[in-house]
Amino acid sequence: MATEFEDSVSNKRSRDSASSSVFHKRWRHDVSGSYSPKRWTYDVFLSFRGEDTRWSFTSHLFHSLEEKGVNAFIDNSLPRGEDISSQLIDTIRSSRILVVVLSKNYANSSWCLQELSEIMECRNKSLGQMVLPVFYDVDPSDVRKQTGCFGEAFAKYEEDKDKETVARWRAALTEVGSLSGWDLTNSASGTEAKIVKKIARRICNELNNAYLDVAKDPIGLRPRMIRVNEHVNDPSDDVRFIVIWGMGGIGKTTLAKAVFNQFFHSFEAKYFLANVRENSEQPNGLAHLQEQLLHDIIRFQKIEVGNIDRGINVIKERLKRRRVLVVLINDFTVSAVFLQNSLSHSHRTERGEGRKENIYSISAKTEFLSSGKKKT
């Protein structure tokens, strides 16, 4: 029986302990349902403080998305009260990408904080949604630590809101303030118009990253997904390799696609390549694969590695301390060179601890068929 290296997971936790605990909650996937893409009502939901950005930044972003054919939701038509409506909660839950525009008066609105709490709860349930923060004339550290104008708002909430509500709002701000986004207080990010274009382009790229097609409820998929989930749920910092192996035509690729669909939204970046062998056999093929991986993970930046050895070092440097999902299909040897040498090398962290690799083997037996029919 030939073996094939088909799935590699590199999971490197954030050094921030608060966001680390949140990250592990996100791994508790429900693996009982379908692994086909969810149908979203909206592509994008915009959360913002109306008096700060409704007629400026948020309006410009909304129209930029609209021009690109993105179905974005903006709550101009909804009446506001003390509590957000069930209609708005449903809208948040049915939107693929959740953009949070954090401005000076954002935390002064209990409505905005309720929106944000729901948004971060959706993210932590791993429903396939992405949260993109925009720090509009506010310091991300003020958001993360609730200091400055955010601290002033919470001084009032501590007096007239219950402790559980205040704690939930603080946790949501701490988490969103720890996410990678756009900081408009940093002139290096460019002008407001340029940043609007960057955000719209990033959103379009994410929306174009469609889920992989997987047969509906193939026989034998669920128990193997549960096994994969157990390995991915490993709380250690170690690089993780999951090897899916078995005879040809029994559903290994179907399982790998289902793994990708189920987990990719929980990573900072992802890469899926179905024809490793064919691509690697081209002139300088493996180096080109390394360049494609880096391009897909580091957006809008073309990197030329030149040769395989340099590519390995570049991948090591660019992917360290990042949560990355990489799925490679159809060649154990090439995949091992491509990933294991790049990701599994033990290195030192700031805590002085060495990392090690965990390799898990999952057999796709002959009763597992991608067609969903049992073998007779």
**More reliable by pLDDT, 277 or 195:** 195
CA distance 319 to 324: 7
Q: Is the pLDDT of residue 173 over 90?
A: yes
Mean pLDDT computed over every residue of the chain: 75
The token pair at 297 is 């993970």
Each residue of 298-343: pLDDT tens digit? Answer: 754 667 777 888 888 888 887 777 778 888 887 655 555 556 566 6
CATH number reported for the structural domain that contains residue 255 in this entry: 3.40.50.300
Each residue of 252-294: pLDDT tens digit? Answer: 888 888 888 877 766 777 888 777 777 777 777 788 888 888 8
CA atoms within 13 A of residue 66's CA, in its CB half-sphere: 9
Q: Is the pLDDT of residue 58 over 50?
A: yes
Q: Do 146 and 288 have their domain in common?
A: no
**More reliable by pLDDT, 99 or 339:** 99
Question: Is position 152 within any domain?
Answer: yes
What is the count of structural domains for the chain? 2
The band of 355, judged by pLDDT with boundaries at 50, 70 and 90, is very low
Q: Do 144 and 233 have their domain in common?
A: no
Question: Is position 22 within any domain?
Answer: no
Each residue of 111-148: pLDDT tens digit? Answer: 999 999 999 999 988 677 899 999 999 999 999 999 99
Helix (H) or strand (E) holding 360: strand 357-363
Q: Do 156 and 177 have their domain in common?
A: yes
CA dist 5 → 240, 244, 245, 274 (Å): 13, 6, 7, 12
Find the mean pLDDT for residues 31-38: 48
Q: Do 55 and 195 have their domain in common?
A: yes
Question: Is position 34 within any domain?
Answer: no
Question: Is position 315 within any domain?
Answer: yes
Q: Which of 60-64, 71-75, 79-83, 176-180 has the lowest mean pLDDT?
A: 79-83
**More reliable by pLDDT, 238 or 110:** 110
Question: Is position 371 within any domain?
Answer: no
**Residue 8: which of 245, 273, 328, 280 has the closest Cα?**
328
Q: How far is CA 6 from the centre of its chain?
A: 21
Q: Do 159 and 129 have their domain in common?
A: yes
Q: Do 148 and 76 have their domain in common?
A: yes
Is 115 among the catalytic positions? yes
The token pair at 262 is 């189920």
- Domain span at residue 228 reads 7-15+211-363
Q: Do 154 and 253 have their domain in common?
A: no
DSSP codes joined into one string, 118-163: HHHHHHHTTSS-EEEEEE-SS-HHHHHHT-HHHHHHHHHHHHHS-H
CA distance 228 to 243: 10
The three-state secondary structure class of 74 is: coil
Q: Do 202 and 104 have their domain in common?
A: yes
Catalytic, out of 6, 115, 175, 291: 115
Q: Do 201 and 256 have their domain in common?
A: no
pTM for this model (two decimals):
0.57
- For residue 88, the tally of other CB atoms under 10 A from its CB is 20
Check residue 44 and give left, alpha or beta (phi > 0: left; psi -120 to 50: alpha): beta
CATH number reported for the structural domain that contains residue 133 in this entry: 3.40.50.10140
